Amino acid sequence: MSTHLVVGAGSVGSALASQLAAAGDDVVVVTRSGSGPDHPGVRRVAADASSLDALMLAAPEAVAIHNCANPPYHRWAQDWPPMASAFIGYAERTGAVLVTCSNLYGYGPVNGPMAESLPLAATGTKGRVRAQMWRDAKAAHDAGTIRATEVRGSDYIAPSDQTRISSARVVPQVLQGKSVSLLGPVDQPHTWTSPIDVARLMVIAASEPSAWGFAWHVPSNAPRTQRQVVDELADAAGVPHVKVSQVPGAMVAVLGLFNPVMREMAETNHQWDRPFVMDDTAARRAFGMEPTPWPQLLDGVIEFYRQR
């Protein structure tokens, strides 16, 4: 039996903690509020994840520390650096493998599918923050002071208000036959990743030495446009397709005047005005992992909202 420290209890952190506990491992979940999955193998701790002392108190030893934290979108530049430093410090002090849940922001605008070999050339603040986090972890790994790996997924599809395409502002509208307005162009191909699959790859990466020192893209289903996803959600629910449109740019700009999260969306416009496709070949070949089947993901989303 091994102990894993999971920081964050969002869609990935909760899925990861549940998977590890189900496998018989001891799991300590650290969040500011002390939230997390209700499982006998999971101990929930309220703590400041940017404090190395707090992390050590929560779990004096662990085989891995899993960074599944998710600071407020508009505070990445302020909140991420001290947390990332604490995670590296914890890995140095305990020997735990540092496994980071990340995204594709660090690549910046690209033309063509994104593979792990692409340079981290982000020009926006949030992309630069995520890129530097990996550079720092990789440097510590290469120096032999820690063992580190990073798992990168695209935008999530899951029954969660945190998602863009399968949230409470989309799926209930579909179920009620009402039109849906989405942020960004609705007809550009886009990769969608399941948080469950992110967690699955993090479990593998934590225990597989060949994963250490590298970043890995989460195996995901074939790209789909936002319009296609909404249509397929309707098909999964057995209801007619609804009208799908883009929220006018002027409206987004006005909302950004009052909502800091909406204001930050402008930095990631490049992810929606062109194909945003992730190449996950490396992880599939290295670990034999396949994504959760697309119909299963859609059925899970529909069932979640129907039960609500």
pTM for this model (two decimals): 0.95
Give me the pLDDT at residue 248, please.
76
**At a CB cut-off of 8 Å and minimum separation 6, what does 156 contact?**
11, 162, 163, 164, 166, 192, 193, 194, 195, 198
265 part of a folded domain:
no
Give first-to-last CA distance, the chain, whole Å.
36
Residue-wise pLDDT tens digits, 201-221: 999 999 999 999 999 999 999
pLDDT by residue (tens digit) across 144-161?
999 999 999 999 999 887
What pLDDT shows up at residue 277?
Answer: 98
What is the distance between the alpha carbons of residues 149 and 289, in angstroms, rounded to a whole number? 17
78 within domain boundaries: yes
Q: What is the mean pLDDT of the chain?
A: 94
Cα separation, 179 vs 242, in Å, equals 5
SS3 content of the chain, % helix, strand, coil (to 5): 45, 15, 40
**Does residue 147 form part of some domain?**
yes
- Is the residue at 126 inside a domain? yes
Helix (H, G, I), strand (E, B) or coil at 113: coil
- Whether the pLDDT of residue 249 is over 80: the answer is no
Helix (H, G, I), strand (E, B) or coil at 105: helix
Q: Is 26 exposed, middle or buried (0-12, 13-18, 19+ CB in 10 A)?
A: middle
Residues 6 or more apart from 288 whose CB is under 8 A from it? none
Give the count of domains, the chain. Answer: 1
Q: What is the pLDDT of residues 91-117, one digit of tens each?
A: 999 999 999 999 999 999 999 999 999
CA of residue 181 relative to chain centroid, distance: 23
- Is 138 inside any structural domain? yes
C-beta of residue 162 within 8 angstroms of C-beta of residue 156: yes
Residue 163 in this model has a pLDDT that exceeds 70: yes
- Per the listing, tokens 């057995």 go with 238
Beta bridge partners of 276: 190
pLDDT value at 69 more than 80 = yes
Residue 137 to residue 288: CA distance in whole angstroms: 26
**Contact indicator for 100, 206 with CB cutoff of 8 Å:** no
Q: According to the 3-state scheme, what is the secondary structure of 19-84?
A: HHHHCCCEEEEEECCCCCCCCCCEEEEECCCCCHHHHHHHCCCCCEEEECCCCCHHHHHHHHHHHH
22-34 tens-digit pLDDT: 999 999 999 999 9
Domain-embedded: residue 234: no
CATH number at residue 287: 3.40.50.720
DSSP 275: -
**What percentage of the chain reaches a pLDDT higher than 90?**
87
Q: What is the pLDDT of residue 162?
A: 78
∠ CA 194-72-36, nearest 5°, is 55
What is the extent of the structural domain holding 50? 3-157+194-222+277-292
Contacts of 105 (CB under 8 A, 6+ apart): 122, 124, 126, 127, 130, 131, 268
The string of DSSP codes covering 223-245 is PB-HHHHHHHHHHHHT-----EE
Beta bridge mates, 5: 28, 65
Residue at 269 is within a domain:
no
Which pLDDT score, from 0 to 100, does residue 308 have?
A: 82
Q: How would residue 301 be classed by pLDDT, with cut points 50, 70 and 90?
A: very high
| pLDDT at residue 142 in the model | 98
Specify if 200 maps to a domain.
yes
